[in-house]
A and B are shown apart, each in its own frame.
Chain A
């Protein structure tokens, strides 16, 4: 996750997702922002905190097989640059979404729940917890 260009690609991917959603003719701006936030958090939750193991064989005799991607990152070391970056982006997206939904209650609740689903698994206290 810290190889060259990965963070830029990630941010561009979010931007691309938002532009495509924004192009849906009948969707309003608040709905588009909430959709962006929800889809981003759902993908992040699935790819970083649900799928376990590696999509290819590793020579570590199956050690990584039971770990999620988030737990495998940087060999399990906490508070690395990649981890900070991947923790901050959902928060920034959430703040933007809250702003563009004019702090509407319904959107606020949905976005907050969605944000928590990707923040809680990132806590160091929950490393390896099932």
Chain B
């Protein structure tokens, strides 16, 4: 709930929430992967 409220996607429609979450999590996955490779 806090995640929805702080990111503001609480007010979005379900498909928008899914879109936001997929973009966010793929970006996080990319950051983790690249950091791992880099380190």
- Measured CB to CB, the residues of A under 8 A from B are 19-20, 22-25
Contacts and interface: CB of A to CB of B under 8 A. Distances in A.
Interface stretch (B1-9, B14-22, B26-34): B26-34
Contact-residue size bin, chain B (C-beta under 8 Å from the other chain): under 10
Contacts, number: 17
B27 A20 contact: yes
A19 B31 contact: yes
A20 B31 CA distance: 7
B31 to A, nearest CB: 4
Contacts of A22: 34
Do most interface residues of chain B lie in helix, strand or loop, or is the interface mixed? helix
A12 to B, nearest CB: 14
A33 B23 CA distance: 21
B21 to A, nearest CB: 15
A94 B33 CA distance: 28
Nearest to B29: A23
A82 to B, nearest CB: 24
